[in-house]
Structure 1
C-alpha cells in the first residue's frame, strides 16, 4: 500500500469530460477544471487578503486542488441530474463518500490516511477557504460556459449554467472578492461581441 494509486488517479481525471451529454466546441476535463479552480481561488485569496482577510493558504490550496478528485470514482454527473431532488443528491453523496473512504482505507498508508480524509472529503464549508472554493468553482463554470455561448453553441444548457453560476456566486456577496469580481472582472468578461448579446445581457442583469 503506497500513494501510487492516488497519483495514478490523476490520469483518470484527465479522461473525465465535464458537462457530459452536451455538445461543446471546447471539451474540458476534470483535471483541467481542478487546475483552473486552484488558480482562480488563488486570485480570490489575493483579493481577500488585500481587504484585510486572513487566509489559510495551505487549506485553500488543498481544498481547491482536491475538490473534484473523487469524481474519479463516479464521474462528472450533470448538474440537473445531481440536483433533481434532495434524496438523489444525498444518495450520490453517500456513494461517493463510501467509495472515498474505501479508497483511503485500502490505498493510502495509515500514517497519511487522516490527511487524505481531510483533503478528499467535502471542502465547501463555512470557513473563508471553503467559501472561496465555492466561489472559484462557479467562476470557472462561468468562464467555461461563456466560452460556448460566444461561439454560438446551440445547446441552451450553457446559458443556464452561466446564469446558475451567477446566482451561486451572488450568495457570497459578503465576500470582498465577490464584490471585486462583479465590479472589476465580470464587465471585462462580457465585453465581447456575439450573436444574441443584447438579449443575453438583459437576462444577466436580472441576476445582478
Structure 2
C-alpha cells in the first residue's frame, strides 16, 4: 500500500468531463477545473490579504486543489440531478464520503491517512478559506458557461448555470474579494457581444435584483 493509487487518480480526473450530458463547444475536465479553481482562489486570497485579512495559504491551496478529487469515485453528476432534493443530495454525499473513506483506508499509508482525510473532506466550510473556495468554484463555472453562451451554444442550461453562479457568489458579498470581483472583473467578463446579449443581460439583472 502506497500513494500510487492517489497519483493514478489524478489521471482519472483528466478523463472526467464537466457538465456531462450537455452539448459543449469546449470540453473541460475536472483536472483542469481544479487547477483553475486553485488559481482563482490564489487571486481572491491576495485581495483578502490586501484588505487586512489573514489567509491560511496551506489550507486554501489544499481545499482548492483537492475539492473535486472525490469525483474520481462518482464522476461529475449533473447539477440539476445533484440538487434535485435534499434527500438525494444527502445520499450522494454519503456514498461519496463512504467511498473516500474506504479509499483512504485501503490505499493510503497509515502515516498519511489523517492528512488525506483533511484534504479530501468537503472544503466549503465556514472558514474564510472555505468561502474563497466556494466563490472560486462558482467563478470558474461562470467562465466555463459564459464561453458557451458567447459561442452561441443553444443549451439553455449554460445561461441557467451562469445566473445561478452569480446568485451564489453574491451571497458572499461580505468578502472583500467578492466585492472586488463584481466591481472590477465581472464587467470585463460581460463585455463580449453575442447573439441574444440584451435578453440575457435582462434576465441576469432580474436575478441579481432578487438577491
Find the residue that maps to 1:160 and give its secondary structure.
helix
Q: Mean Cα displacement is larger for which, 146-155 or 196-205?
A: 196-205
RMSD: 0.5
Aligned length, in residue pairs: 208
**Residue 41 of structure 2 is aligned to residue 38 of structure 1:** no
Cα distance in 2 for residues equivalent to 1:188 and 1:37 = 19
Runs of 4+ residues deviating >2 angstroms = none
- Residue in structure 1 matched with residue 20 of structure 2 by the alignment: 20
**TM-score normalised per structure 1:** 0.99
Cα distance in 1 for residues equivalent to 2:46 and 2:205 = 27
Shift of 1:103: 0.2
- Residue in structure 1 matched with residue 101 of structure 2 by the alignment: 101
Shift of 1:202: 1.2
Find the residue that maps to 1:116 and give its secondary structure.
helix
- Residue in structure 2 matched with residue 141 of structure 1 by the alignment: 141
Find the residue that maps to 1:77 and give its secondary structure.
coil
- Residue in structure 2 matched with residue 52 of structure 1 by the alignment: 52
Cα distance in 1 for residues equivalent to 2:207 and 2:184 = 17
Unaligned runs of 5+ in 2: none
Cα distance in 2 for residues equivalent to 1:134 and 1:194 = 28
Unaligned runs of 5+ in 1: none
